[in-house]
Structure 1
Amino acid sequence: MKLATGGTGKAAMGFILLLALLDAVSMGLIYPILPQLVIDLSGGDTPHASRIFGLLAAAWAVMNFVAAPILGTLSDRFGRRPVILISAFGLAIDLVIMALAQNLAWLFIGRLLSGVTAASYATISAYLADVTPPEQRARRFGLLSGIFGIGLILGPAAGGLLAEISLRAPFWVAAVLTAFGWLYGLLVLPESLPAERRARLSWHAANPVKSFGVLTRYEGLSGLSAMAMLVQLAAQAVNTLFMLYTAHRYGWTPVQVGLLLMVYSAGTIVMVAALSPFLVSRFRERKVVLGGLLCLVVGFLGLAVAPTGFWFAAACAVICLGNVATPPLQALLTHKVGADEQGRLQGALSALMALTGMVGPILFTQIFAWSISGNAVPAMSGIALAVGAFMAALAWLLALKVARSPKAEKMPSAEDAAATAAGMMPS
């Protein structure tokens, strides 16, 4: 079947939105049950399983960090279609591997492959830019981010419910959905990048480490970047330990975790896409950043000391409110560079956030495993979350010095805010 290039039809747009939805749902489906699967494959030893889960999360982040610029470079040279389709096929295979995994080694292989395939989101975004006129890009990127957010809301709840059937069921359902998306794309997705617009293959451009240079070239940018890194590192405490901690401390099931994550994800999108812009219009960026970070500190401390599941959920609500700091922090970062370097800035920030995904899971799972080993009292299990609160507090103190509202700052659009919210959600 010969497919035309430069496709802007409804079928191509529909596939891109469908693939974004399936990617998000697939991530959400397995999130509530992956820690329990690790515990089962570790013989029921929760401290040991916690350390293994941290290594799994870090391995995923390492592959994502390395693969994202490589896939972007390959898509510039060979086109978006083959990269997107190979990634979708790889994700389906990855989910089957994890569904069949009978030991931790195979689970590691699945997570490594998942880290590579998850890096295709940047290629999806590039495809969307290729087929969309400049005046329509804001609307379509907003739609893409909204679809992705919906997947992150629905996935955890569905994964928790499917886990009642079997811990493997969410993997099989996610694999079937992803395979359907790949087959649909194989039949209808045209190439969006004509041959005459393709770049030469440059491995220099695929080096994620070199992207950090932009963060040190402008006054104040390194301080704001350090703030963003501390906030994301603190968030890793919750992202990594959510299921492990609630199962150990409160005896929660995947269904309970999935429902809370669904509510939390929906609330976060509302905070960053609606409430945050309103607050900035009233109080400016600096005050909203400081107020939001203070809520994060209180929320993380609340998670660490919550005696019951009810108070844990209440602390999650405080953290959700604290996420109003994310869009104005993003706006302050973008104000530091010119229009010709916004792409480099976002690439550097993405790489920086990926680094927190390598360090955070290992750090927090090691602390958690230590805190529940031996005859430790239940209250000690919250120490890792308290460390997350400490990091958020450091970010707040740094914000006192480096966060300054410019005279005329443009807030990120709703689609930027929704995309940022997606990045803060558990992965």
Structure 2
Amino acid sequence: MEENRTSLLERKAEYCEKCPGCKMDRLKQEQAGVPYKLLSFIWIVSLCTALQISSLFPFVYFMIRDFHIAKREEDIGFYAGFVGSSFMVGRALTSLFWGVVADRYGRKPVILIGAFSVVVFNTLFGLSTNFWMALSMRFFLGCFNSLLGIIRAYASEVCREEYQALALSVVSTSRGIGLIIGPTIGGFFAQ
């Protein structure tokens, strides 16, 4: 005797209309293949967030020298270290905060805030007239740009499971390229 049985635990996927997680799951189910458009967006944003980490190193010595804050030439490196590290201090202090905001309000708004902050605070850093302005602009740039974890989470969310390794490789590759060409771009603008 053959009986047609259906599992009681088997469910059809039910999606809520206003749920961002359901929207993303539905989008992944409808995708066939690699989402090249989303991966290129992720690549560009990740590159932009990595560029400003190292782009100041070719010219920060001359910038500190022109601020006339160091009493001796040997102290310029001391002050340049503060400007260089202030970005990472700001980033370390706000990474958790931006992760919570991204979980609550979505990854895209937080990524857009971070990308916009790159433009604003890098411009203000370039227009700095004294040491404290340069230090604070780098700090605020780091505060609004704690995107590494958020970009990785977004990359793994927009791809189907079989393409998640590719998506995370895109993030790592673009960050590496950004860290390599950042000093080149900084050196070009230092001239």
Residue identity opposite 2:62 in structure 1: Q
Residue 21, structure 1, aligned to residue 50, structure 2? no
Q: Aligned to 2:80, which of 43, 53, 61? A: 53
Alignment of 1:136 onto 2:163: yes
1:126 to 153, 156, 171: 153
TM-score scaled by length of structure 2: 0.74
Distance 1:85 1:163, change over 3 A: same
* Residue segments in structure 1 that go unaligned for 5+ positions in a row: 165-427
The match for 2:8 is none
Larger radius of gyration: 2
Counting matched residue pairs gives 161
**Alpha-carbon spacing, 1:42–1:159, altered in 2? closer, same or farther (3 Å):** same
Equivalent pair of 1:42/1:49 in contact (CA under 8 Å)? no
32, 41, 60: which one aligns with 2:67: 41
**CA separation in 2, counterparts of 1:162 and 1:59?**
21
Is contact 1:22–1:151 with CA below 8 Å preserved after alignment?
A: yes
* Per-residue deviation, residues 112-151 of structure 1 (Å, max 9, x unmatched): 1121133112111111111112221112211221122122
Q: Secondary structure at the match of 2:55?
A: helix
* Distance across 2 between alignment mates of 1:28 and 1:77: 31
Cα distance in 1 between the residues matched to 2:170 and 2:126: 31
Separation (CA, whole Å) in 2 of partners of 1:13 and 1:156? 25
Unaligned runs of 5+ in 2: 1-19, 29-34
Who is 2:37 aligned against?
Answer: 11
Equivalent in the alignment of 1:114: 141
Q: CA RMSD in A?
A: 2.1
The equivalent of 1:73 in structure 2 is 100
**Quick one: which amino acid aligns to residue 59 of structure 2?**
I
Question: Relative contact order (alpha carbons < 8 A, sep ≥ 6): 1 or 2 greater?
Answer: 2
Quick check: 1:20–1:144 contact (8 Å CA) kept in 2?
Answer: yes
Indicate yes or no: 2:178 matched with 1:151: yes
The DSSP-based 3-state class of the residue aligned with 1:27 is: helix
Structure with the larger helix share: 1
The residue aligned with 2:110 is 83
- The CA deviation at 1:91 is 1.6
Residue 96 (structure 1) aligned with residue 136 (structure 2): no
Deviations 1:359-411 (A, max 9, x none): xxxxxxxxxxxxxxxxxxxxxxxxxxxxxxxxxxxxxxxxxxxxxxxxxxxxx
> Alpha-carbon deviations, 1:238-288, whole Å to 9, x = none?
xxxxxxxxxxxxxxxxxxxxxxxxxxxxxxxxxxxxxxxxxxxxxxxxxxx
1:162 aligns with 2:184: no
1:269-308 equivalent positions in 2, closer than 5 A: none
